[in-house]
Amino acid sequence: MMIREAKIDDIQQIQTVRNSVKENALSNPNLVTDNDCEEFISLRGKGWVCEMDKQIVGFAIADLKENNIWALFVDPEYERKGIGKKLHRKMLDWYFTQTKEKIWLGTAFNTRAEKFYRKAGWIEVGTHGPKEIKFEMTYNNWISNSKQY
């Protein structure tokens, strides 16, 4: 398992992973374009991928412009191997070296992702639209939780 920075050449495989997930699936795969991915990993923030056997099996992208986790997804065939946890740590460690501003994300109710974020120390602060919980992470909360998680 190798975690590394995402590159433009990775976008096709990133899209494959994004469209393979069972939870938080896109209602329309055309809603997230290759151009969107390129913008988020090169202009707005940074992304990371997890490779196994030269195949991308997970990715994470942080958006510095909106102080948001834009994406964190793992191919369902590779779930429960610690990939999401490693991508999450890498992404937040990087984010909080760039800024001390709190970061937020939205995820669907009653999902494994919701449990994942709660366990990692994210704090529920309301809703994001009608179908998602909004979570926030502060710098201080990350520093105190990242050692345990």
- Predicted confidence band at 129 (pLDDT cuts at 50, 70, 90)? confident
User: Could you report the per-residue pLDDT of 11-56, keeping only the tens digit for each?
Assistant: 999 999 998 877 766 666 667 889 999 999 999 999 999 999 999 9
**pLDDT above 90: percentage of residues in the chain:** 82
pTM of the model: 0.92
Q: Which amino acid is at 103?
A: I
pLDDT for 27 equals: 61
Per the prediction, the chain carries an average pLDDT of 92
Q: Are 35 and 74 in contact (CB under 8 A)?
A: no
Rounded CA separation 36/50 (Å): 20
Can you tell me the mean pLDDT for 83-110? 96
pLDDT at 11: 96
| Domains of the chain with bracketed CATH | 2-146 (3.40.630.30)
pLDDT band, very low/low/confident/very high, at 115 (cuts 50, 70, 90): very high
The answer to whether residues 5 and 46 touch, using CB atoms and an 8 Å cutoff, is yes
Sequence-distant (6+) residues with CB within 8 A of 136 are 102, 103, 104, 122, 123, 125
Tell me the average pLDDT across 108-124.
Answer: 94
